[in-house]
């Protein structure tokens, strides 16, 4: 019984962690449209979402069927077996969802819960069938229809959401275009009233229908008078929005987006709360049932009473809502998941997170061919008129920093379409996944808006396919992992539980450290063209050159001193510098596209400067990496002659580096010719040292591998200095022509 008490305590501790990791993944479903369109200040947005989450949690249906009897039949399991299943499920959910959060991939908490319950209960049933006399068949223990419904729900959600999201967004854009402000004067109130009516319907059907405070009479009244309620809502919304727009110039679309975001947050908190605390509360209900029965043996008491209705404690629901709100405010992983969705749906081009895949290439090729076929059929006047409606809005350089990932019109459509499909699926009892609907609608609206252009389509589609593939992996991994953990808990007892908890805590902490590290590594270079752009560029170039020179010196010292730790540390930093300069290079297009006319003449030199900087960083890696490999493989140390040759080069290079940075810091461009003379002198020394090394190779005085290493270092050093010299020349021309 001690083990059961410990499991019960652990379940509620894990519930707190589950609330945090779960809402971090689900936040993308309701925050993506508002954040992507910059509908409001982030603080105001998070306040509204927090209110929605708190209300949804308090009005939650609490102990939903799925956690207690939706997957397994509790009357055929003993109390101890049920508690083992619940513990394996909670551990699985935390490990899996935290892994998805770390990777920044949205997935379904419902699928994770259902298949973890299925995996744990199937494993428990198999153990019973093999160890207990008179055991029943597997079908008596498991409700397989629920799992099949979830799988079909994935497919339904993907197809239906993408189709209707694309169609409705395309029609909406055809009506309003990207420059929708003028038409909003005439149709904005009607559009907003219709959108708000749909959102209210969604709140009634999806958000409040299953709430704990809703009685059968209230639900019956809403269903009987639904048409009248929605008609009144539509008319009053139209009038109110028109008044707000005409008198106070309030953006109708912002109201729609903020109201839709709040309603989605409320609905997700109210209906998906079971995914986070349903299992611990089912464990508490099981414990109360056992204790009130007066039974003594936890291994023989069956749990048929768990099939009855159980209401959640309102204080626990409030506490859960508070934890979810705190997680939303402080979770960095939630922002990573949101960023993935926004990056895949943004209107502008830029650095893509995902690579390419063969399937994505085939999809793009098919779409291009289909587009060509359709264009050949449509008459020219119609094509020109449609093309005008889909011409993207042009932002001035001054507005670029405030440019949203997509506009308010698309954000409104995304929220409305998701609300319609989720509410319709709920009313028709279709197994649609709310997570999958929200994500696929966001992708569909971006597709309809032609955000997936020829330059980005293959990367975006690869990203979408990766997310969809992850959804199926969620089901498979949840099932297998829960089954494995159940076996460990069942046969390992208390010791196994303690070990698993320690391992889970270790993975949780490690994933957070990994996420923090990845965030710092993937931080994009922010391009801001302003009056201080020259100084910002100067500072950036100074930082890069300083790092390159420092790493080169420590790298050559490391190989001469044969210190592996020093070389390993410098190799890691060299790789980071190489990545950073490549990101800087990828942002050239963004920089050139947002700059004013003052940048036209100097732009060519800016491109050259960044290109040479990237090449120099690549050469630096090719200096340090072979040196590290040589030392780590325990090859022979460099001879005294080889060390003397490298040091003969290093001394003038140090002075060259010092003068190089002084020219940049002091804008003393007249010293460039003197620096060029120093560069020519160093190249002459390199040539002399290389000739001496070749002579020693011919006379077999030096080991083979160290000789090849020295020759490589000499060549890459020459290339590095050449690129740095060209970069400085381009930098000077850039400064003088800006």
Q: What is the pLDDT of residue 208?
A: 62
Whether residue 650 lies inside any domain: the answer is yes
Domain match, 537 and 512 both: no
- Region 25-50: what's the mean pLDDT? 87
- Number of CB atoms found within 10 A of residue 564's CB: 15
Whether residue 654 lies inside any domain: the answer is yes
* Percent of the chain scoring above 90 in pLDDT: 25
Domain match, 63 and 111 both: yes
Q: What is the pLDDT of residue 62?
A: 44
> Residue 212 pLDDT more than 70?
no
Retrieve residue 616's tokens: 């120099």
Mean pLDDT is lowest, of 244-258, 286-300, 404-418, for 286-300
Domain match, 458 and 606 both: no
Residue 513: Cβ-neighbour burial (10 angstroms; 0-12, 13-18, 19+): exposed
Final residue belonging to a domain, choices 467, 494, 521 = 521
Whether residue 494 lies inside any domain: the answer is yes
Q: Give me the number of domains the chain comprises.
A: 2
Retrieve residue 330's tokens: 């402080």
* Percent of the chain scoring above 70 in pLDDT: 88
**pTM assigned to the model:** 0.75
- Region 554-567: what's the mean pLDDT? 88
Structural contact between residues 396 and 176, judged by C-beta atoms closer than 8 angstroms: no
CA distance 308 to 195: 39
Mean pLDDT is lowest, of 59-68, 70-79, 536-545, 592-601, for 59-68
Domain match, 27 and 112 both: yes
Domain match, 513 and 550 both: no
- Number of CB atoms found within 10 A of residue 494's CB: 12
CA distance 455 to 463: 14
> Residue 421 pLDDT more than 60?
yes
Which residues have C-beta within 8 Å of that of residue 426, sequence separation ≥ 6? 205, 206, 209, 432
Domain match, 129 and 150 both: yes
CA distance 405 to 349: 10
Whether residue 528 lies inside any domain: the answer is no
Domain match, 453 and 544 both: no
Measure Cα distances from 425 to 256, 412, 420, 430 in Å: 22, 20, 8, 5
Whether residue 527 lies inside any domain: the answer is no
Domain coverage including residue 617: 533-737
Report the chain's mean pLDDT, rounded to a whole number.
83
Q: What is the pLDDT of residue 524?
A: 46
Domain match, 302 and 184 both: yes
Q: What is the pLDDT of residue 414?
A: 92
- Region 582-587: what's the mean pLDDT? 79
pLDDT in tens, 306-326: 776 656 667 787 888 888 888
Whether residue 526 lies inside any domain: the answer is no
> Residue 598 pLDDT more than 80?
no
Final residue belonging to a domain, choices 521, 547, 566 = 521
- Region 9-24: what's the mean pLDDT? 86
Q: Using alpha carbons, select from 550, 576, 534, 577 the residue that is nearest to residue 664.
A: 534
Mean pLDDT is lowest, of 368-372, 456-460, 533-537, for 533-537
- Region 127-141: what's the mean pLDDT? 84
Domain match, 196 and 245 both: yes
Q: What is the pLDDT of residue 211?
A: 58
Q: What is the pLDDT of residue 124?
A: 93
Q: What is the pLDDT of residue 115?
A: 87
Name which residue leads in pLDDT, 529 or 91: 91
Whether residue 193 lies inside any domain: the answer is yes
What CATH code is carried by the domain that includes residue 667?
A: 1.20.58.220
Domain match, 444 and 340 both: yes
Specify which residues 72 forms β-bridges with. 142
Structural contact between residues 645 and 690, judged by C-beta atoms closer than 8 angstroms: no
- Number of CB atoms found within 10 A of residue 428's CB: 8
Whether residue 454 lies inside any domain: the answer is yes
Provide the angle, in degrees to the nearest 10, between the axes of the packed helices 79-103 and 109-131: 140
Domain match, 511 and 631 both: no
Q: What is the pLDDT of residue 612?
A: 92
Q: What is the pLDDT of residue 311?
A: 61
pLDDT in tens, 142-170: 877 766 776 677 677 788 889 999 999 99
CA distance 584 to 577: 10
> Residue 678 pLDDT more than 50?
yes
Final residue belonging to a domain, choices 495, 521, 547 = 521
pLDDT in tens, 49-97: 898 888 877 766 544 455 555 678 888 888 999 999 999 999 999 999 8
Domain match, 583 and 464 both: no
- Which stretch, 105-114, 508-517, 570-579, 598-607, has highest mean pLDDT? 570-579
């Amino acid at each position: 019984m001690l083990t059961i008490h410990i499991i019960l305590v652990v379940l509620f501790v894990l519930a707190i962690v589950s609330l945090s990791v779960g809402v971090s993944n689900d936040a993308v479903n309701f925050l993506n449209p508002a954040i992507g369109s910059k509908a409001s200040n982030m603080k105001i947005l998070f306040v509204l979402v927090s209110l929605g989450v708190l209300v949804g949690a308090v009005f939650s249906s609490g102990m939903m069927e799925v956690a207690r009897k939706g997957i397994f039949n509790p009357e055929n399991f003993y109390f101890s077996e049920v508690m083992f299943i619940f513990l394996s499920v909670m551990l699985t959910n935390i490990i899996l969802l935290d892994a998805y959060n770390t990777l920044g991939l949205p997935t379904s908490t419902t699928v994770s819960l259902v298949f973890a319950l299925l995996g744990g209960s199937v494993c428990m049933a198999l153990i019973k069938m093999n160890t207990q006399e008179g055991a029943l068949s597997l079908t008596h223990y498991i409700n397989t229809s629920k799992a099949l419904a979830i799988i079909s729900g994935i497919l339904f959600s993907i197809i239906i959401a993408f189709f209707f999201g694309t169609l409705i967004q395309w029609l909406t854009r055809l009506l309003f275009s990207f420059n929708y402000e003028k038409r909003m004067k005439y149709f904005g109130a009607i559009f907003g009233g219709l959108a708000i009516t749909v959102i209210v319907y969604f709140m009634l059907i999806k958000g409040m229908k299953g709430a704990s405070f809703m009685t059968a009479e209230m639900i019956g009244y809403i269903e009987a008078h639904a048409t009248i309620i929605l008609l009144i809502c539509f008319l009053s919304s139209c009038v109110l929005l028109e008044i707000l727009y005409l008198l106070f110039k309030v953006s109708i679309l912002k109201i729609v987006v903020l109201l839709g975001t709040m309603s989605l947050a409320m609905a997700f908190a109210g209906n998906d709360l079971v995914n986070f605390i349903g299992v611990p509360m089912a464990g508490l209900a099981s414990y109360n049932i056992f204790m009130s029965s007066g039974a003594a043996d936890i291994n023989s008491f069956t749990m048929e009473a768990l099939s009855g209705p159980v209401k959640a404690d309102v204080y626990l629901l409030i506490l859960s809502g508070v934890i979810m709100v705190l997680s939303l405010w402080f979770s960095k992983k939630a922002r990573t998941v949101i960023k993935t969705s926004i990056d895949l749906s943004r209107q502008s081009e830029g650095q893509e997170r995902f690579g390419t895949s063969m399937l994505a290439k085939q999809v793009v090729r098919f779409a291009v061919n289909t587009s060509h076929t359709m264009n050949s059929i449509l008459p020219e006047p119609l094509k020109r008129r449609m093309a005008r409606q889909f011409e993207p809005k042009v932002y001035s350089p001054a507005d670029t920093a405030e440019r949203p990932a997509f506009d308010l019109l698309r954000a409104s459509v995304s929220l409305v379409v998701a609300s319609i499909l989720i509410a319709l699926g709920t009313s028709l009892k279709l197994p649609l996944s709310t997570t999958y609907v929200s994500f696929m609608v966001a992708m569909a609206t971006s597709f309809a808006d032609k955000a997936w252009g020829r330059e980005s389509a293959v990367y975006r589609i690869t990203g979408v396919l990766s997310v969809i593939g992850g959804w199926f992996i969620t089901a498979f991994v949840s099932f297998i992992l829960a089954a494995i953990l159940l076996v460990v808990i069942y046969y390992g007892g208390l010791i196994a539980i303690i070990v698993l908890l320690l391992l889970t805590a270790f993975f949780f902490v490690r994933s957070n450290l990994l996420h923090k590290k990845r965030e710092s590594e993937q931080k994009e270079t922010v391009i801001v063209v302003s009056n201080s752009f020259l100084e910002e560029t100067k500072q950036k170039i100074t930082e890069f050159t300083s790092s390159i020179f420092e790493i080169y010196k420590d790298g050559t010292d490391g190989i001469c001193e044969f210190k592996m730790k020093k070389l390993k540390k410098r190799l890691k930093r060299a790789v980071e510098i190489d990545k950073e300069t490549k990101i800087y290079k990828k942002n050239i297009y963004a920089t050139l596209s947002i700059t004013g006319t003052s940048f036209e003449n100097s732009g060519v030199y800016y491109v050259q400067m960044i290109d040479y900087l990237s090449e120099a960083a690549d050469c630096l890696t090719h200096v340090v990496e072979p040196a590290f490999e040589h030392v780590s493989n325990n090859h022979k140390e460099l001879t005294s002659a080889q060390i003397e040759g490298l040091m003969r080069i290093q001394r003038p290079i140090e002075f060259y580096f010092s003068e190089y940075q002084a020219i940049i810091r002091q804008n003393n461009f007249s010293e460039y010719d003197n620096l060029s003379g120093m560069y020519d002198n160093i190249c002459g020394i390199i040539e002399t040292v290389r000739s001496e090394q070749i002579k020693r190779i011919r006379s077999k005085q030096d080991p083979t591998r160290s000789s090849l290493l020295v020759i490589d270092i000499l060549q890459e050093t020459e290339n590095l200095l050449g690129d740095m010299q060209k970069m400085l020349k381009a930098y000077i021309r850039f400064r003088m022509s800006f």
